[in-house]
């Protein structure tokens, strides 16, 4: 059995065989991939010669690149989400625009509805269909454009006639001929109106 030498208490390292001194470092280097070895110092002396400011600058550059990439990805994700929302709104607007004439017909039918007899029951059925259609439009975020008694706004109203009116100020909507609709800020159809001059 081999005797072990005690470690001196002076803080000095025990003597080692010079031929064994670099063996653990070399063994570790053999296990590393080639791309890491290119940037890895070969010995303790090489480690001491590394410029810390250069390493800090490189680390700062990597951190900056990572933060920039993260911000670019976040912006990309927001842009994709906004484009998807815009596409959904556009498709909804195009689809709903086809149903608006049907809604107009139902409103006209209910305006002159019979109040008695078989016609009254038929009118109740039509009103039920009308309410369901309005509820569907509400669920999709479709809103009517306020017009009656409002000041004429060419962005959301379309004037059919300009008429003299003693009851209304100039530029006020006298009557709505056809209701207008919008989805958010997008006008699906302007309100057709009579305007006081």
CB neighbour burial string for 54-84, b if at least 16 within 10 angstroms, e if fewer: eeeeeeeeeeeeeeeeeeeeeeeeeeeeeee
Assess contact for 174 and 165: CB atoms under 8 A.
yes
Residue keyed to tokens 């009254």:
120
pLDDT of residue 19: 47
Q: What's the rounded Cα separation, in Å, for the pair 56 and 62?
A: 10
pLDDT of residue 62: 92
| CA neighbor of 183 nearest in space, from 100, 77, 103 | 100
Q: Which domains does the chain have, with CATH numbers?
A: 143-197 (2.30.22.10)
pLDDT tens series, the chain, 197 aa:
555 555 555 544 444 444 445 565 565 556 655 555 555 555 565 656 667 888 888 889 999 999 999 999 999 999 999 999 999 888 988 999 999 999 999 998 888 888 888 888 888 889 999 999 999 999 989 999 999 889 999 999 999 999 988 888 899 999 999 999 999 888 999 999 999 98
pTM reported for the whole predicted model:
0.58
Q: Are strands 142-144 and 186-189 parallel, antiparallel or unpaired?
A: unpaired
């Amino acid at each position: 059995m081999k005797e072990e030498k005690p470690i001196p208490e002076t803080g000095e390292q025990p003597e080692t065989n010079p031929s064994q001194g670099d063996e653990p470092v070399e063994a570790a280097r053999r296990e590393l991939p080639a791309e890491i070895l290119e940037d890895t110092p070969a010995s303790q002396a090489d480690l001491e010669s590394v410029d810390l400011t250069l390493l800090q600058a490189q680390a700062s550059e990597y951190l900056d690149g990572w933060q920039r990439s993260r911000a670019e990805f976040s912006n990309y994700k927001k842009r994709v989400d906004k484009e998807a929302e815009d596409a959904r709104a556009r498709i909804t607007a195009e689809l709903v625009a086809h149903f608006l004439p049907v809604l107009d017909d139902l409103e006209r039918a209910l305006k002159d509805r019979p109040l008695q007899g078989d016609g009254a029951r038929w009118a109740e059925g039509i009103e039920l269909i009308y309410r369901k259609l309005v509820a569907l439009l509400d669920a999709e975020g479709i809103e009517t454009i306020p017009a009656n008694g409002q000041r004429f706004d060419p962005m959301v109203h379309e004037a059919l006639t300009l008429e003299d009116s003693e009851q209304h100020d100039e530029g006020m909507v006298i009557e709505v001929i056809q209701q207008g609709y919008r989805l958010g800020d997008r006008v699906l159809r302007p309100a057709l109106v009579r305007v006081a001059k």
